């Protein structure tokens, strides 16, 4: 009998209407990771440099917490739902995500440059007010106000880039390689943080404007390349707008996003994870000279020495992010997330008990960041695996609302706690408590996921408006 001859072509990968060969997929992943490196380099400015700028201007811990995190986060709280819904519904020649990257990158870069110029700008504003007869202002106060205003402008436009960039992953990266891609994404991001802390942080006081300007230009170039080189597929028409105008849209958003316990528990994981990060802005004061003589003794490192230690913690994360991506695809991100959060919580308390020198700071903070890398490598893929695809941006926005709320509440609480205890070492206790609560929420989410079908049959649960498109 004749045996029919079959030919096997090269493997293809599909996401929506996009079809990739292996080579084409690698090109898309390269440009997305290229942008991630410079995005993380830019994001490293806030937890490290902005608190220092505020301290150099004489701000206290509570004011640092409010201006560096709470105030801009309060603005973003009302803005994120608009951002997610707009990008979900937008249809244009560049797709539904890339136009927002193109439009919002220039104002983000401008706000970064203005933040870098905060000290001379504060002196300039003070001179104007003094010339106008306003005797109640100081140059330091004007600098602090300038930083606060620029942070709000930055957050408004960066909210688009932050969310749209995350949604673009789901639109252009196939589901079967999402875990590996996001493992690479986290690893490349850790390299960006390493570069900032290892080679730029030590020069930040003398060359503040230069660092902001350099990072802003690199960031702009990277995202313009993404808009040019990464193509989106075709999308179905957006669903009809809810009746009732803007108020109807708000009611629809609330009903769809906040009426199922599964999603609410997901949001709690985000809330306490983000809250656990808030105290880390003050670790730099524990590691270096705190600038507060009435506080408990710190480790007394220079900015250069502290930057080297912090840089090592990011370098430790790089191989873990690579490895975590493979385990996430093999065992599901929820299982890996539970393990990572358990290790993170334990290591935070160990940081409080055992850190007393630069070497123990490197050891225990490095172990803590390694454990947190396991969790972050897994949590990055939770939303693509668990949220409904048809309204992914909307649910990402709802999730971000909880994270932003924690950033509004946690920093002033941490600041007040530190001003009462007067010991920066207690930031590790606050983070440990938050991650312990996160661990409980992760375990609860895992049990709910198993009841909804688990590995083989999970589909996003019904909302108040019915079943939506499942992740592919």
What is the per-residue pLDDT across 209-219, written as a single tens digit (0 to 9) for each?
999 999 999 99
> CB count, 10 Å around CB of 244?
11
- Whether 109 is in a domain gets the answer yes
Judge contact between 109 and 220, C-beta under 8 A.
Answer: yes
Question: Which range, of 18-27, 80-89, 418-427, averages the lowest pLDDT?
Answer: 80-89
- Determine the pLDDT at residue 472: 40
**% of the chain with per-residue pLDDT over 90:** 36
- Whether 239 is in a domain gets the answer no
**This model's pTM is above 0.85:** no
At residue 341 the predicted structure's pLDDT band, cuts being 50, 70 and 90, is very high
Judge contact between 401 and 77, C-beta under 8 A.
Answer: yes
At residue 93 the predicted structure's pLDDT band, cuts being 50, 70 and 90, is confident
Please state the domain count of the chain: 1
Question: Which range, of 127-136, 388-397, 422-431, averages the lowest pLDDT?
Answer: 388-397
- Whether 250 is in a domain gets the answer no
Q: Which helix (H) or strand (E) holds 20?
A: strand 18-21
Question: Which range, of 278-287, 291-300, 315-324, averages the lowest pLDDT?
Answer: 291-300
Question: How far is it, in rounded angstroms, from Cα 1 to Cα 13?
Answer: 35
pLDDT beyond 50 at 58: yes
- Whether 180 is in a domain gets the answer yes
N-terminal to C-terminal alpha carbon distance within the chain: 41
Question: Which range, of 47-61, 62-76, 458-472, averages the lowest pLDDT?
Answer: 458-472
At residue 315 the predicted structure's pLDDT band, cuts being 50, 70 and 90, is confident
- Determine the pLDDT at residue 228: 93
- Whether 9 is in a domain gets the answer no
pLDDT beyond 50 at 465: no
Judge contact between 361 and 347, C-beta under 8 A.
Answer: no
| Residue 204 domain boundaries | 20-231+260-457
Q: Residues with Cβ < 8 Å from 30, sequence gap 6 or more? A: none
For 134-178, what is the HEC assignment? CCCCCHHHHHHHHHHHHHHHHHHHHHHHHHHHHHHHHHHCCHHHH
Question: Which has more confidence, 289 or 360?
Answer: 360
pLDDT beyond 70 at 466: no
Question: Which range, of 327-331, 387-391, 459-463, averages the lowest pLDDT?
Answer: 459-463
**How far, in Å, are 60, 220, 408 from residue 145 at the CA level?**
14, 26, 18
Mean pLDDT for the stretch of residues 60-87: 75
* Cα–Cα nearest to 332, from 457, 162, 234, 419: 457
* Cα–Cα nearest to 302, from 282, 287, 280, 291: 287
Question: How far is it, in rounded angstroms, from Cα 67 to Cα 72?
Answer: 7
Mean pLDDT for the stretch of residues 85-105: 87
- Whether 220 is in a domain gets the answer yes
- Determine the pLDDT at residue 5: 47
User: 133 burial class (0-12, 13-18, 19+ CB within 10 angstroms)?
Assistant: exposed
pLDDT tens-digit series, residues 346-397: 999 999 999 988 899 999 999 999 999 999 888 888 888 888 877 787 888 8
pLDDT tens-digit series, residues 2-23: 445 444 567 888 988 999 999 9
- Whether 197 is in a domain gets the answer yes
pLDDT beyond 60 at 1: no
Question: How far is it, in rounded angstroms, from Cα 126 to Cα 241?
Answer: 48
Q: Across all residues in the chain, what is the average pLDDT?
A: 85
Question: Which has more confidence, 280 or 3?
Answer: 280
Judge contact between 12 and 228, C-beta under 8 A.
Answer: no
At residue 242 the predicted structure's pLDDT band, cuts being 50, 70 and 90, is low
**How far, in Å, are 4, 6, 7, 388 from residue 1 at the CA level?**
9, 15, 19, 50
Integer-rounded Cα Rg, in Å, for the chain is: 23
- Determine the pLDDT at residue 318: 85
pLDDT beyond 50 at 199: yes
DSSP E strand stretches across 284-398: none
> Would you give the distance in Å from CA 295 to the centre of its chain?
31
Question: How far is it, in rounded angstroms, from Cα 142 to Cα 198?
Answer: 31
- Whether 264 is in a domain gets the answer yes
Question: How far is it, in rounded angstroms, from Cα 268 to Cα 308?
Answer: 34
Question: How far is it, in rounded angstroms, from Cα 45 to Cα 150?
Answer: 13
Question: How far is it, in rounded angstroms, from Cα 283 to Cα 132?
Answer: 40
- Determine the pLDDT at residue 471: 45
Q: Which helix (H) or strand (E) holds 12?
A: strand 12-15
pLDDT beyond 70 at 338: yes
**Residue 81 is part of a domain; what is its CATH number?**
1.20.1250.20
Torsion sign over Cα 98, 217, 43, 414: negative
Question: How far is it, in rounded angstroms, from Cα 376 to Cα 382?
Answer: 10
């Amino acid at each position: 009998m004749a045996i029919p001859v079959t030919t096997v072509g090269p493997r293809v990968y599909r996401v929506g209407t996009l079809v990739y060969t292996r080579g084409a997929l690698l090109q898309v992943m390269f440009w997305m990771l290229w942008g991630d490196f410079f995005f993380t380099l830019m994001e490293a400015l806030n937890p490290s440099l902005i608190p220092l700028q505020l301290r150099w201007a004489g701000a206290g811990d509570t004011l640092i917490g409010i201006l560096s995190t709470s105030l801009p986060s309060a603005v973003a709280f009302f803005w994120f739902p608009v951002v997610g819904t707009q990008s979900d519904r937008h249809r244009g020649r560049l797709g539904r995500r890339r136009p927002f990257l193109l439009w919002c990158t220039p104002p983000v870069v401008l706000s970064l440059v203005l933040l870098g110029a905060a000290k001379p700008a504060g002196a300039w504003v003070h001179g104007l007010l003094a010339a106008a007869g306003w005797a109640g202002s100081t140059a330091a106060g004007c600098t602090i106000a300038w930083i606060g205003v620029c942070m709000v402008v930055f957050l408004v436009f960066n909210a688009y880039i932050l969310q749209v960039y995350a949604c673009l992953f789901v639109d252009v990266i196939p589901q079967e390689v999402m875990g590996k891609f996001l493992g690479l994404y986290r690893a490349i991001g850790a390299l960006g943080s390493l570069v900032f802390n290892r080679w730029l942080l030590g020069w930040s006081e003398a060359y503040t404007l230069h660092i902001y300007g350099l990072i802003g230009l690199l960031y702009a170039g990277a995202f313009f390349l993404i808009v040019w080189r990464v193509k989106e597929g075709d999308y179905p028409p957006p669903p009809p707008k809810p009746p009732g105008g803007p108020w109807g849209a708000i009611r629809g958003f609330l009903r769809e996003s906040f009426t199922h316990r599964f999603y609410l528990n997901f949001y709690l994981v985000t809330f306490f994870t983000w809250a656990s990060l808030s105290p880390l802005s003050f670790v730099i004061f524990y590691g270096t000279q705190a600038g507060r003589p009435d506080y408990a003794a710190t480790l007394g490192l220079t900015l250069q020495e502290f930057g080297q230690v912090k840089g090592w913690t990011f370098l430790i994360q790089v191989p873990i992010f690579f490895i975590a991506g493979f385990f996430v695809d093999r065992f599901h991100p929820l299982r890996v997330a539970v393990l990572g959060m358990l290790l993170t919580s334990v290591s935070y308390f160990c940081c409080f008990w055992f850190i007393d020198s630069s070497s123990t700071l490197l050891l225990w903070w490095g172990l803590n960041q390694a454990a947190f890398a396991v969790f972050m490598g897994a949590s990055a893929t939770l939303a693509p695996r668990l949220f409904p695809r048809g309204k992914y941006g909307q649910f990402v926005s709802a999730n971000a609302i909880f994270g932003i709320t924690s950033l509004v509440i946690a920093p002033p609480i941490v600041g007040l706690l530190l001003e009462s205890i007067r010991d920066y070492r207690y930031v590790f206790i606050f983070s440990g408590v938050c991650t312990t609560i996160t661990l409980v929420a992760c375990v609860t989410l895992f049990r709910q996921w198993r009841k909804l079908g688990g590995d083989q049959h999970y589909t996003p649960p019904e909302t108040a408006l019915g079943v939506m498109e499942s992740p592919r």
